[in-house]
Structure 1
Amino acid sequence: MRLLVVEDDPRAAKQLVADLEELGHEAVVAADGRAALAIATDGRFEAVLLDIMLPYVDGVEVAKLLRDRDIDVPIIMLTALADLEQRLIGLDAGADDYLVKPAAPAEIDARLRAIVRRAARTSDSGIMRVGDIEVNEVKYRATRAGRLLVLPKLEFQVLCELVRNANSIVTRQMFYQNVWKYDFEPTTNIIESYIRHLRLHLNQPGERDPIATIRGVGYMITDRTDTGGD
């Protein structure tokens, strides 16, 4: 994956590039907001890792300007601030995801692949598919094998998150951030409860369970037959 890393700290940028290259990515560095805008506009990148605190033009403004210029490259914002208001400002400006530094390279890699898959799978009509399951985010409609699934709002959003990342693990943290908008992990088994109810809506007698439980990590929806449901 060809990435644009926007980071004004040379040491942090060098380490991040090394981590990304070890994971098989190619990275180009911009050290300030003005450079990021010029490079992102002229170059071809599959995603942008964008620090918020930048010289000249901050990361929030960079994201906003890129979206104003109809540049729809996926953006993950990186910041040392774990402030919810700052996260929401960044997302409102056009960022697709948000990570607090220092973030583990494996988590950055997982988030990158998730948002790139999401951009590729979601058409203008909002339709996503995996196996015999179809989800239309625009019309708030889900079916399995042509059968309408009547889902409460949060169950529908959980299904959307799974289908966006079909055949890949959706971690508990991804659910909390993308569905519940939490920056922390609650002490309750909220995800397990929603997955259990979602399975009841998805599966009729004789149908395979398309949701695999990846114990201790999260869940995965798959079009394969060898799922590892509960």
Structure 2
Amino acid sequence: MLILSAAPALAAAHHLTMVLQTYGHQVVAAGGRNEAENLVRSVRFDLILLTLALSTTALIQRLRAEGVVTPIVVLSGEAGPEERIAALEAGADDVLGAGIDPAEIEARLRAAARARNEARAAGRAAGGETPDASLTGGVIRVGDIELDAQRLKAVRAGRVLSLSRLEFRLLSELMRRPDEVVNREMLLKAVWGLSAAPRANLVEVHIRRLRGRLVGPGELDPIRTVRGMGYQLLSRPK
């Protein structure tokens, strides 16, 4: 999971980040409330981790009012039941008290993300939320881009894209996670089967080539570089 951690005041925050990383999660630390809000609005995280402070409840309410559906878990420390209840009523998915083992915290984070994803899937099945990416007959669609994995064919706005097999695999990985940040390590493993890059700019070079194939005259670049984190394939390029 890609986790936003806005928990700088937590004494064990650094240790918790290390634990989450050992479980394979990517943790992005926000220096404060304003930075956290800016990141939430620009990056699609799998989960948001907050510490309970005077402004936490207001932040959760604001994010939920703006339509942010990302799971939010609050570390309450020594806060009393009133504060914990307020965080839940504001829209937090879970509130964890003091003294919880980091391994249990990691399990609770996964449970919160799973519950939120299942609820969203149920809403889609009931005719509610429409996903940005659709899969029909083996064809993935994100925005105006279509990818047929069986025929090894990619099309943007009716224009057939001339892609190498490697570029096709790279585009496929991005399209399977629309609007999510896919980090460099994930791409290296999925596309090249590597745990480490033989050259520092391997991913960057091929992303640049893929952009050249995707963007025609008058078209917007659908790939967004998130500095220090990875790449997003935008369902609605800006």
Q: TM-score, normalised by structure 2?
A: 0.48
Larger Rg: 2
Q: TM-score, normalised by structure 1?
A: 0.50
